[in-house]
Structure formats: structure tokens, C-alpha cells
Amino acid sequence: MAGGVHLNKTQTKKCTSLPPYVNSNGWLQDENALTASLPVLELHMFAIFLISHGCHFILKRYGIHILVSQILAGVIVGTTGLGHQSDYTKIFLTIDSKQILGTLAGLGYQLFGFINGIKMDLALVRKTGKMAIYSGILSMVIPGVLGGVTERMVSKYWNLERLDKLSLILVMLVQSMTPFPVICSFIGDLKLTNSELGRLGLSSVLTSEMLTQVFALVAFFIGIAYKQRAQAAIKSVIISVAFLVIVLYVVRPAMFWVIKQTPKGRPVKDVYTDIIIFGALASGALFHYIGLNVFLGSLVFGLAVPAGPPLASAVVEKIECVVTGVLVPLFMAMCTMEADLLKIDFNDYILKSTAIVVFVVILAKFGAYLVPLLYFKLPKQDALALAFLTSTKGIVELGSFTYMKELGILTEGMFAFLVITVLLSATISSIAVNWVYDPSRKYAGYQNRNIMHSKELRILTCIYRPDNTTSIINFIKSLCPTIQSPFSVSVLHLIKISGRASPMYISHQMQKKTVSLHSISGNVILSFKHFQQNYGEAVSVNVFTAISPPKLMHEDICTLALDEIACFLVLPFHKKWLVDGSIESEDPTLRTLNCCVLERAPCSVGILIDRGNQVKSIFRDSSRGPSLLAAVIFFGGNDDREALVLAKRMSQNTNSNITIARFIPSTEEPEINRDSMLDSQALSYIMQDYIENETVDYIEERVGDGLETSKTIRSMLDKYDLFIVGRRKDIQTPQTAGLDDMNEYPELGVIGGLLASMDTAEKYSVLVVKQQVAL
């Protein structure tokens, strides 16, 4: 039995008022207030945002993407929900109200495509590994092949009409796509952008995105050829090719000219960003004129904008908030408002055929993505999470289905069914990824990666601001690199992401060209290059740049610590002091970042606090005495023992003097246990230098409580350049009793917080050490 022809619809005559009735005098003075377009639009927007955010408030606890809430909002305020109430329909679902809301929604969809075009860095495709390439290609090709075979089978079995076959082919093509904007949005919402899983997913999706655009163009050209004539399709192809040539050889060079005209460190002029946004809108209008989706036109124009700062970041920051926060939710709701779920009837053969094709394509896509990952021995949990992630559906598929419905290719029942598939896909994928994937286990410490147990010192240090560079380099110098005892240093310059979707991660020793990134990290690279040249073979330096969201920077740090087999990670403190002891700046974001790293780092961690001296005493004239005066505040425990081993390394420098200040309780005899025996052993190890030379001193301070400890430490501030202390978080001892309540920085431990918060004009530095917690 043949399916019904979709274009034979019942025609109805509807009237509208011209000129349109925009404003009203208010409900109290105007009985027809709700016939005015502006109040209706405002109420529509209010209802959509209220319902979507209300749903997301509940669903986000289960890790479900906000897209699901936006779809539910459209269903509730649309035909399926309130649309069955006649009074509601007469006011909110009229031709005029739909057109106004649809105009805003269409603008949001177009600009969403433009923003994602900007964020796509096609250069990453060339750097993608085999696993990402194979999985990206197979996840497009295999579903397309199996979906095509299934379509032929069901079409022949039910003897479907020509338009029914066309609709199945288009649905199969859309379901086979892996759109970059959809997956990028999901990865960002699930906070996987900087995880190994997220990076692999974005790389493979970029590969399949190339095929996706080919599939999309084929689908649209087929639709144009059917709705109009083959000549119209050929005309669309010619104009599209001409547009691509202009974008590639005129628009993109113009973008680079704009970048050259922008002085380093200065914002891009508004006139340039406004022209680019206007160009995106014009591109969408051109594609609409030739019968293609406006989304594609804006996406292609966005690809012409060079990724990253200064240009792309300026454009994205100018419009992203309004687009993603206001216009995109309206588009999602507008699409689903048209879906009448009551029209889903599986007695209809075309709907049965659609369900079968969709099921086969989704299953094939999941399997085609999963098999290459398992072949390349990716952990099963990660492979499953990535397969779920890349099989999800979102705004691009929903927009394509809506466009096909407007062309009359999809029936009401087919469209409603496809909306349900998008809703279920987004829900299941969100829950499955959160359930299967655990990013924290990647940093589990199964091996001892600390200074105490490492034969070779491998340091990873982070640069948050350019002024961190001097104090970090001076601290590394204090560790006395020599040819007899060399060590390696990896430097990670962290920059806040802006104007791109994929986090950028570059090794400046391996990368041939770094373009704009080299200018951003240039001073850091030159400083450490000069440092390496001074020490020759005694130290090896590798500099990296990572551009990522601040909330996910700890992923970059921990990942590099694993990759570089670091045993000690040095982080700058989030505060900066002036020379008079007052606070110059404080960044809560960096404090949160340091806390995240402290909890997850796969190695030992040190937080370097620079209170105005940048460890400058290292450059003192050695004829006047030791060039570095350092003190280790020792109470006992794993962290303090790790600090002792670090001080042992410093003591190899004959121009330094290390003082071990051991604080002993004066009120009671020290308890003898395993910890105290290990403390004694560690002290004996470093005291060998005290016996052999004069680089190490040892003193004991007997204190009764935290107040006496604080006074003793304050009296030492003017005697030393650097204090090394263990973090000793949540460890209670008589020597520190009462200090916990006054600690402004719990992440530094009691003594570290005390030294960081002391009200003094003395210049000194503090290194708070936390030993790796191995499983």
C-alpha cells in the first residue's frame, strides 16, 4: 500500500490586519490588548524562558543537556500542549504571532551557525590522529549506506510513492550527519571540553563535519530539484560555488588585513566587527534566495574568520550572549511548537518506514563510531561515552526537519516523531555519558610521582600572568641544575579561551607555526629560552600554550603533568603584592583553579607565593654571603618530608643556606610512631649536608600553641628570602592549635595560610608543598 502524498493539504483562508497592531494601551484600557503583536511576543518569550529554565533546574541534576528543556518548553506552549485550548490558540498561535516569533528564532539559528563557523578550526583536521579520522568517516559512511539499503527495502515492501521515498532519503541523510555545533555544544555543557574524551570527540567530529556539509548540500539540492526544477538546482550550485570562491579569496584575506590593522593588545574596532556580522546576515540571505538553508550560508561565512584572538574573539563576545541565551532557545521552542505529538500514528506506513530507517541509522552510527575506538584500544568506558556523545541529535537536525516540513516533504506525524527522536537522543546521551565516563579517574595516582621517590627531577610549572615568569624562573634556579644533576622543566602558559570552540594546545618546540599564539606566549617563551641557554645541558625546557575555559584549565594542567611524567607541579598564588606589602590584585578564578589542581594532580604540588621579592635575593652578590636564605618550617608528616627533600636539592648550591626549623611541642613529649620515625629518618638524610658543609643549619623551636608558633614565625620573616612549608591539610597538632580558625586560605594549610596572610611589609616568598597521594 502506498503512503500518502504530503503536498495535497487542505487549504484554509486566514486573514491578518495591515498595518499590524503592534502596541496596546494596556489591559485596563484596551480590551484587545492581547491582539497586539508586542505584548503577545513578550508573553511568548516569558513562557518559553520560564518553562525551559524551570525544566532545566530539575533536569540538570541528572546531567541532562539544556536542549531537552528547550524542546519541552516548545512542546508545552505549542500545538501539543496548550495549543488544544481554543482561546490560547486564537491569541498565541495565530499567523501573525508565529511569524514574529519565527523571525526572531530564524535570526538566532542563522547567527548560531555563524558563531559555530567561527569556532571551527579546520586546521585541526590536518592534526587529527588515525583513530579520530577513521571513527569520524565511518560514523558518516556506514549509517548512510545501511540507511540507504533499509530505505530501499521498506519502500519496496510498502510500495511507497515518490515523495515518500524522497522524505525517507532526506531523513536518513540528516540522521547520518554529525554536526559540529551540536556535539561541541554537548561537550561544553557536559564540561568535557578539556578532557581527553572531549578533545578526541571534537577532532573526529571536525572530520565528519566535512562530510556532513556535503550530505546537507545534497539533501537541500534534492529538495530544490523536487520542489522546483533541475535548472533551479543547477543555479543554486553555481551561485554556491561562486560564493565559496569569494569567501575564500576575498573575504578571508580581508579578515587577515583587519588583524594586521589592529595594534597588538588593542581591541578590534567596532566598525570591523559590525561589517563581519552584517556579512554573515547577508550570506544567510543569499542562501535563502537560492533555496538553501540560511544556517549553511552563515556557517560558511563564519569559517572565513580566523579562529582565536583578536578578531574571532571580538565578534563572538559581541553577539554570543544574546544568541545562545535568548535567540537559540526561541528557535528550539519555535521548531517544536509546530509538532503535534497526537498526530503520531504507527498505522501509517510512511511513519512505520521512518521509524525503521531512523532506528537502523542510529544503531549503525553508534556501532560505526564504537568499533574503531575499541580497535585502537581506547578504554571501553571512554569508547562507549564517546559513541553516545557523537550519536546525539540537536539544533541542526531539528532545524533541518523543520525546513523539510515547511517544504511539505514531511507529514505532521513524521515531523512529530522526529522531534521525539531528537528529544530522546539528547536525553539518553546526556545520562549515558555522565554515567559511563568519569574524568577524575584519569588522574588517579597509581604510581609514586613525587620528589622523594623520583630518581630524576621533572618539574611542570604554570604561568597565569606574564609577571609570574620571573619568580618561577628564579625559584627553578634555586634548585641548582647542574650537568651532574640535571632536571627537566615543562612550562604551561594558560590563556582564557575566547573566539573558538576547541581548546588550543601547542608545544612550541614541536609546532612549526604558532601565528597569533606565538605573540601571546612570546615573552614567556623568550624568558625560558634565555634561562635554558644560561644553563646549557643542565636543564631541558619545553614550553606549552593552552587556551581553554578557566573552569576547565585544571584538566590541561593535570593532563600535561601525566604526559610529561612530572613529579613536582609549581602553581603561582592567586594574589599579587606590591613592594610596600599591600595587595595589588586578587583573582578568585585562579584560586579556584589552584584548589582543583591540588585535589586532582597526579604528582606533588607546590604553590609559590611571591610577597614582593620574586626570590630576587638569588641575584645578590655572593661575596656578601649566601645568595639564597631559605627556611623549612618542619612539623612532621608526608608534606613536610617532601619539603625537606626539595630543600636537600637546594642545599647542593654552595651559594645558598638552608635552615631547618623544627617546631616541637613544649607541653608534652613527642609521641613515637611510624610517622615520627619517618620524620627522623628524613631529617637525618638532610643533616648529612650539615655535617659535611655549612649549607644547612638546624634549629629547634619549642612552642606551646598556635599563638607562640605565629610569633616565632613572624620573628623569622626578616631573616629569610624563601620559606618552604608542608601543606598538612586537616592535621591537628598542639603547635598549631587555634590557627585553623584564623586561616584565610584553607587550601594552603595552617602554616602556609599564616605566611600568606601576615600583615607585614617584609618581602619574602613561600612555597607550600603537598606530596602526591598515591592509591
CB 126 within 8 A of CB 203: no
Arithmetic mean of pLDDT, 246-270 = 83
Name the grid cell of 137.
Answer: 568517516
Least confident range of 195-199, 216-220, 314-318, 580-584? 216-220
Who has greater pLDDT, 679 or 8?
679
Arithmetic mean of pLDDT, 423-449 = 75
Q: Is the pLDDT score of 603 beyond 90?
A: no
Q: Is the pLDDT score of 690 beyond 60?
A: no
pLDDT digits over 626-657, tens only?
577 889 998 888 888 888 888 888 887 777 88
**pLDDT at residue 519 in the model:** 54
**Residue 481, phi-psi category: left (phi > 0), alpha (psi -120 to 50), beta (remainder):** beta
Who has greater pLDDT, 610 or 131?
610
Q: Is the pLDDT score of 313 beyond 90?
A: no
Name the grid cell of 752.
Answer: 602556609
Q: Is the pLDDT score of 623 beyond 50?
A: no
Q: Is the pLDDT score of 194 beyond 60?
A: no
What does the angle CA 171 – CA 174 – CA 180 come to, to the nearest 5 degrees?
165
Listed in order, strand segments (DSSP E) in 625-721 are 628-634, 656-665, 696-703
In the sheet that holds 656-665, the strands lie side by side as: 504-507, 539-548, 487-496, 458-463, 568-572, 604-611, 764-770, 722-726, 628-634, 656-665, 696-703
Arithmetic mean of pLDDT, 472-485 = 85
Name the grid cell of 748.
Answer: 594552603
Show the DSSP H helices in 264-411 as ranges. Answer: 270-289, 294-303, 311-322, 328-337, 349-375, 380-390, 395-406
Q: Which residue, chain included where needed, has cell 578590534?
A: 268
Give the C-alpha distances (Å, rounded to integers) separating 150 from 165, 387, 681.
Answer: 11, 22, 73
Arithmetic mean of pLDDT, 600-621 = 72
Q: Which residue, chain included where needed, has cell 577513521?
A: 134
pLDDT digits over 259-275, tens only?
888 776 577 888 888 89
Nearest to 770 by CA among 718, 734, 722, 726: 726
Arithmetic mean of pLDDT, 454-474 = 88
**pLDDT at residue 509 in the model:** 60
Where is mean pLDDT largest: 61-70, 115-124, 499-508, 567-576?
567-576
Least confident range of 101-105, 465-469, 507-511, 673-677? 507-511
Where is mean pLDDT largest: 159-168, 402-411, 538-547?
538-547
**pLDDT at residue 461 in the model:** 94
Element (H, E) at 431: helix 412-436
Name the grid cell of 437.
Answer: 565516563
What does the angle CA 462 – CA 463 – CA 466 come to, to the nearest 5 degrees?
170
**pLDDT at residue 539 in the model:** 87
DSSP 700: E
pLDDT digits over 334-362, tens only?
888 888 888 888 888 888 888 999 999 99
CB 53 within 8 A of CB 332: no
Listed in order, strand segments (DSSP E) in 477-600 are 487-496, 504-507, 539-548, 568-572, 575-577, 583-586
pLDDT digits over 706-765, tens only?
888 889 998 888 888 899 999 888 787 888 888 877 788 888 988 998 898 888 878 888
CB 543 within 8 A of CB 524: yes
Asked whether the bond before 179 is cis by omega within 30 degrees of 0, the reply is no
Give the C-alpha distances (Å, rounded to integers) separating 606 from 451, 597, 601, 715, 743.
Answer: 11, 10, 11, 24, 18
Q: Is the pLDDT score of 699 beyond 50?
A: yes
Who has greater pLDDT, 104 or 234?
104
Q: Which residues of 322-357 are buried (b: 16+ CB within 10 A; e: fewer)?
A: ebbeebbbbbbbbbbbbbbbebbeeebbbbbbbbbb
Give the C-alpha distances (Å, rounded to integers) separating 356 from 99, 144, 410.
Answer: 34, 14, 16
